[in-house]
Chain A
Amino acid sequence: KAGVTQTPRYLIKTRGQQVTLSCSPISGHRSVSWYQQTPGQGLQFLFEYFSETQRNKGNFPGRFSGRQFSNSRSEMNVSTLELGDSALYLCASSQGQGSPYEQYFGPGTRLTVT
């Protein structure tokens, strides 16, 4: 079974631009969660999508948004990029929503904002 895939793996953007990251979950998984990982803050939860609906949201500004398609693939968008948005963005999929379902993580997209 193929794992969670994320594209692109690396991205360099400049301040003020916007970016879209993509995540393909494991086949059959309907829940996709997004996390931001930085050395200073660790892993922080962005949001979770299940059946094309945002079910949970972390404490991030509205510049961070996402969506999920009918095939469970998900995209995350960050508008008006700031230097502090430089991070590893991780996607995780699971069969169901939230606990107790195990999350399977992808390799991440490394975003650098200059």
Chain B
Amino acid sequence: AQSVSQHNHHVILSEAASLELGCNYSYGGTVNLFWYVQYPGQHLQLLLKYFSGDPLVKGIKGFEAEFIKSKFSFNLRKPSVQWSDTAEYFCAVNRRSGGSYIPTFGRGTSLIVHP
């Protein structure tokens, strides 16, 4: 079945450590890629997105993600995490279906950053 996989369900880091969260999808056609974040007690919000062009995209709060088409991956990275990055992170793929897009989310990665 077509899906979005986030390999790390729980990640625990210390402040200043580097972060990489994996995301793979299984759709072969046209896709748009997203990372969303949900901070404790807050709504889901967009972190960054990729539609076309430069496969390295930069988002808010120092996050970036790289689209590697050959690997069907869109991994999220941050060189130095902060305690305030503690949150749930969701990768999402919009795949083209007819004249519209169908969104599919990964199951999320819970990140805890220790001060």
Contacts and interface: CB of A to CB of B under 8 A. Distances in A.
Interface size class, chain A = 20 to 34
Interface stretch (B13-21, B69-77, B105-113): B105-113
Contacts of A33: 103
Contact of A102 (B43, B49, B90, B105): B49
A42 B106 CA distance: 7
A27 B71 CA distance: 39
A43 B105 CA distance: 6
B68 interface: no
Contacts of B106: 42
> What DSSP secondary structure best describes chain B's contact surface?
strand
B16 to A, nearest CB: 30
Interface string A94-109: 0001111011111100
B49 A100 contact: yes
Contacts of B103: 33, 45
Contact of B51 (A44, A48, A100, A104): A100
A58 B97 CA distance: 12
